[in-house]
Amino acid sequence: YKRITVKSLVDMKARGEKISMLTAYDYTMAKIVDGSGVDVILVGDSASNVMAGHETTLPITLDQMIYHASSVVRAIERSLVVVDLPFGTYQSDPKEALRSAIRIMKESGGHAVKMEGGKEIKESIKRILNAGIPVMGHLGLTPQSIYKFGTYTVRAKEEQEALQLKEDALMLERAGCFAIVLEKIPAKLAEEVAKSVSIPIIGIGAGNGVDGQVLVTHDMIGMTHEFNPRFLRRYMNLYEDMTKACSQYKDDVKSGDFPSDNEQY
């Protein structure tokens, strides 16, 4: 395979090829996602919810993100690996932000970092980019700020917030980010942003007028089942299938059906 780089993604946008991105937090999942030909693997801080069972993304630590990311990196042959900088590791000052990003790059082997926010974190983004670390932006619904907003509903429906989002996207492009995730905003606004910048816009709940899509793999394969936003397309119902498999196994153990003559030494 030819490895995907940040440059491949910008080239894909230029020639109108859509970009596919999915999450992974561990080796086994990353092997499957990479082998399937998906362009970008996001080691998302959604691991806080999906892997650790926290209610929000806030508690996950830099060490935990590095553990997830290094497991993913060991599995991949082709995909670009982007790692979320977790809450509290880049908001206080640019030097700390750079230290956090450097730890991710050195200790996990990931290829880029993702950071939530616009003008508030501009100086941190610039410092990280100056060190040669590619940065993916993330605007719209930014789960690390959930306590500021109070809900996970659609963002930037009001004119003021929409204008700010457009400005932030332009700022991220000018600063040198290689792509931006737009989460849960009106499709029309997302399309306008995608047309206004030359870097790829990857949407989640941001409609079809953008340059690529991202979903949380555990949601997309139906391994989780209590999270049902409109934007989620489920390609499997693994929650049901795995429950059936575990239950069948339990029955087989209880009845003495497992192991059979062929399944022993």
**Residues recognised as catalytic:** 183
39 binds ligand KIV (CB under 6 A): no
Upstream peptide bond of 259 is cis (omega within 30 degrees of 0)? yes
4, 38, 39, 46: which one binds ligand KIV (CB under 6 A):
46
- DSSP 3-state of 140: strand
Sign of the four-CA dihedral 196, 197, 198, 203: negative
- Taking the CA atoms of 8, 136, 189 and 119 in sequence, report the sign of the dihedral they define: negative
Query: Stretches 44-52, 59-67, 169-177, 223-231: which one binds ligand KIV (CB under 6 A)?
Result: 44-52
- Residue whose token pair is 């998906």: 38
| Residue that the structure tokens 């980019």 belong to | 129
Which partner, ligand KIV, Na ion, none, binds residue 204 by CB below 5 to 8 Å per kind? ligand KIV
Q: Name which position in 24, 214, 220, 221 contacts ligand KIV (CB under 6 A).
A: 214
Tell me the site size for ligand KIV, rule CB under 6 A.
11
Q: Are 30 and 24 in contact (CB under 8 A)?
A: yes
Q: What are phi and psi of 84, to 5 degrees?
A: -70, 135
Tell me if 39 is assigned to a ligand binding site.
Answer: no
- The verdict on whether residue 158 carries a ligand-binding annotation is no
Stretch that binds Na ion, among 18-26, 83-91, 103-111, 203-211 (CB under 5 A): 83-91
**Footprint on residues 186-205 left by ligand KIV (CB under 6 A):** 204
Burial of 113 (0-12, 13-18, 19+ CB in 10 A): buried
Residue with smaller CB distance to ligand KIV, 183 or 211: 183
Provide CB contacts within 8 A for 170, sequence distance 6+: 196, 197
- C-beta of 35 vs 67, nearer to Na ion: 67
Residue 84 is assigned to a ligand binding site: yes
Cα–Cα dist 135/169, whole Å:
13
Partner interacting with residue 216 (select from ligand KIV, Na ion, none; CB below 5-8 Å by kind): ligand KIV
Please report, as residue ranges, which positions from 4 to 33 form the binding site for ligand KIV (by CB under 6 A). 23
**How many residues sit in the footprint of Na ion (CB under 5 A)?**
3
Closest listed residue to residue 215, CA positions, set 44, 29, 86? 44
Does 84 bind Na ion (CB under 5 A)? Our answer is yes
Name the residues that contact Na ion, by CB under 5 A.
44-45, 84
Name the residues that contact ligand KIV, by CB under 6 A.
23, 42, 44-46, 84, 181, 183, 204, 214, 216
